[in-house]
Chain A
Amino acid sequence: MNKIKNFFEQSWLLIVAAFCFGLLVAITNSALSERIEQNEREKLYSRMRALITDANNFEKALEQVPIPGKKGKIINTDIYKGLDDANNVTGYAFVAVGSGFADKIKIVIAVDDKCEKFLGFKVLSSNETPGFGSKIIEDNFGNQFKNVLAGKINLSKVGDPQVIDSRIVAITGATVSSQAVVNIFNTYIEEIKEQLQTKEFIKNGS
């Protein structure tokens, strides 16, 4: 009995404070969570709109598509379809994540309505080295992915970035970050294509 009394004598303030602070955080979270989620949604949609320019509206085509990652780890992602005014599909987009130089790189990749060509990518979050790896967000690098055949791509340290083919020219001084983006594309594209074919969003052999 004395032990219990001593326990509460010593720790009552901690227990009360933990309860009050927990409540405060919970109230703040519930008040702001909707806004935070909306910010996330808007960010994703603005990136998708920038990639699939014909689309006025986006809908989820497939949810929680399993993508086999490194060491057998499964990453789930949603596939969105971009729709024009007549409700025709103008392209597909999905969020893809992979390891960069310093941290995870999260990007949104878009493909055309037949999943034959990439429409490009936009970075959702990255903590790559400022001045070097951070250049993955720049158009000079991103434009190389536009209209490239949707399939495996590879990285080259030399070449002309203006030439559109499956060989992506690395950013000078940021080979690891450039390779990371290419790896993200290669990890996702085959599986996304297969899922879209299986669910008959695109025709087999496209």
Chain B
Amino acid sequence: MAAKTSDISLAKTFITGLWEENPVFRLLLGMCPTLAVTAAVKPAFTMGCCVIFVLICSNIVVSLMRNLLKPHLRILMFTLTIATFVTIADLFLKAFNPIMSDTLGPYVPLIIVNCIIIGRAETCASKNNLIVSIVDAIGMGIGFTMTLCVLASVRELLGTGKIFEIAVMPKAFVPWVAMSLPVGAFITLGLLLGLVNQITKTSD
């Protein structure tokens, strides 16, 4: 019975990150990459994968050392942990996908200051056991990646007429260049936030 309850709790933790506490649509965290790397789906997906990797690793480390953390040094420890895994992710990207590394530019190192990761370390990993922390990281990471991909799909489709760099719009379509620019990121995010709020309101 206890095991079943625990499974349900884990599933709830996972789903929370996808919808109820979606980092972008519900918590409005990680706005910098959300606006900056969503001009196309490929970089958005890669950024999401990097965040998932860093989130899982940092949650594991923080959860393991949660009983040893001194309250006044915890933020320093979180930052140190996150910076380590972001540097590793950045090095791997440079080594194995240099084109994408160039495309993402400074936004991979900037994951260090991404509020989602430090936020999950503070609210979840530093208070829960390893399993819960990992499930939370996966849920939040996938939630973030999905959001980025949805945003990027809309922008890439309207901004270039392509999805995953494959032309899908009819030849007569004139790309809305503004959608590839920062203004397009703000407009798309605003519209999607409004849509999500409306869906939540209706379902309540």
Q: Please give the residue numbers on chain A whose beta carbons come within 8 Å of chain B beta carbons, in ascending order.
A: 10-11, 13-14, 17-18, 21, 24-25, 28-29, 32, 35-36, 39-40, 43, 103, 125, 127, 129-132
Contacts and interface: CB of A to CB of B under 8 A. Distances in A.
Given A13-B68, A13-B73, A39-B95, A131 B159 contact: yes
A29 B91 CA distance: 7
Nearest to A22: B84
B133 interface: no
Contacts of B88: 24-25, 28
B32 to A, nearest CB: 15
Given A13-B68, A13-B73, A131-B159, A21 B80 contact: yes
Contacts of A129: 181
Q: Which of A17, A24, A40 has the most CB of B within 10 A?
A: A17
B142 interface: no
A127 B91 contact: no
Contacts of A40: 98
Nearest to A131: B177
9 pairs of A and B residues whose beta carbons are closest in the complex: A21-B84, A131-B177, A32-B95, A39-B98, A35-B95, A130-B180, A36-B94, A131-B180, A28-B88
B102 interface: yes
Nearest to B73: A14
Given A13-B69, A13-B77, A36 B84 contact: no
Contact of A13 (B65, B98, B177): B65
A130 B80 contact: no
B84 A130 contact: no
B80 A18 contact: yes
Nearest to A21: B84
Interface residues of B, number: 26
Contacts of B95: 32, 35-36, 39
B154 to A, nearest CB: 15
A17 B81 contact: yes
Contact of B94 (A13, A39, A103): A39
A161 B77 CA distance: 56
B77 A17 contact: yes
A10 B39 CA distance: 45
With most chain B CB atoms within 10 A of its CB, the pick from A10, A11, A130 is: A130
B76 A130 contact: no
A14 B80 contact: yes
Interface string B64-82: 0100111001001100110
B80 A10 contact: no
A11 B73 contact: yes
B186 interface: no
B119 interface: no
Interface in B85-144: 87-88, 91-92, 94-96, 98, 102, 105
